[in-house]
Chain A
């Protein structure tokens, strides 16, 4: 059971309903995370605006790769399940790539640098080294794109924390934890 109440679309405050309906049109469902945010129309609107702003940065595959890597760093099972589903069905990433992404890597050389950098940003709470920054630049990412990578870390972080706090019921095919999972709850970071 979720620790915060997740309302149905019809129970949601009036100001949340149009936002939830837009999500329904895009995804064919109104996922629990959206209805969790929908309890508070201000938060739902704020996050949706944030997400919309970043919806075209980099490319769809790398957006999902970063979302998977960061959800793993923050040990959010809900988001790992959701992004595994989205990565498989929308970004068309193969299972072995999804596994690599969760380990903070990618088979694609350029994407690998973005994913590694995103993990450094999340793990170190932004206190990255010059070496971290130089590596992502050397892979061909210019400053605006590095800003966008951090934007994507931010987007995932936002939902990781909300879903982790709420213990949102998983409404996507649930992924199992990997044995090598490093979790925030173990106090590693």
Chain B
């Protein structure tokens, strides 16, 4: 049982309803995460706006890889299940890549550098070393792209905070996975 009421689309306020309807259109389901946040239409709009805007410059594959990584770091099985599904079904990531993502790596060499850097950010809460910078730059990432990697890591961290706090139930659409170890 989630620790918070999960609204149906009909129960949501007029401000929240179109946002939920849009998720249903794109994903085929209103994920419990968004239905839960809908109790605060302001918070839902804030998250939906950030979600819709980020990822445009980073690319959706690495975006999903980062979400899988932070879910494991922060011990969030909900986010791990959702983003493994979205990464595989919607963005064509292979399952062996997604498995590596959980440990901060990728089968793609450039994405691997991004994931290693993002892993350090998530683990240390942004307290990264100069050597981490050197490594991500050596892989070809510009300053603007590093800002993107950190932003996506922070955004995925944010979704972990909500779903861990409320123990959101994994939607039936997302095959349930469990983090290896609680954070």
Chain A residues in the interface with B (C-beta under 8 A): 3-5, 36-37, 39-40, 42-43, 45-47, 49-54, 56-57, 74-76, 121-122, 124-128, 130, 133, 143-148, 150-151, 153-155, 157-158, 160-166, 183-185, 189
Contact = CB atoms under 8 A, between A and B. Distances in A.
Contacts of A147: 4, 36-37, 39-40, 43, 162
Contacts of A40: 57, 144-145, 147-148, 151
Contacts of A125: 74-75, 157, 160-161, 164, 183
Contact of A75 (B127, B161, B165): B127
Most buried by A among B3, B5, B154, B164: B154
B47 A50 contact: yes
B46 A4 contact: no
B83 to A, nearest CB: 16
Interface in B115-144: 121, 124-128, 130, 133, 143-144
Contact of B183 (A37, A53, A56, A127): A127
Interface of B: 3-5, 36-37, 39-40, 42-43, 45-47, 49-50, 53-54, 56-57, 74-76, 121, 124-128, 130, 133, 143-148, 150-151, 153-155, 157-158, 160-165, 182-183
Contacts, number: 170
A167 to B, nearest CB: 9
Given A36-B147, A47-B50, A165-B128, A148 B162 contact: no
A151 B40 contact: yes
Nearest to B165: A126
27 contacts: A4-B147, A36-B147, A37-B151, A42-B53, A42-B54, A43-B147, A46-B49, A47-B50, A49-B50, A125-B75, A125-B160, A126-B160, A126-B161, A126-B164, A147-B4, A147-B37, A150-B162, A151-B46, A151-B47, A157-B157, A158-B155, A161-B126, A165-B146, A165-B150, A183-B127, A184-B126, A184-B127
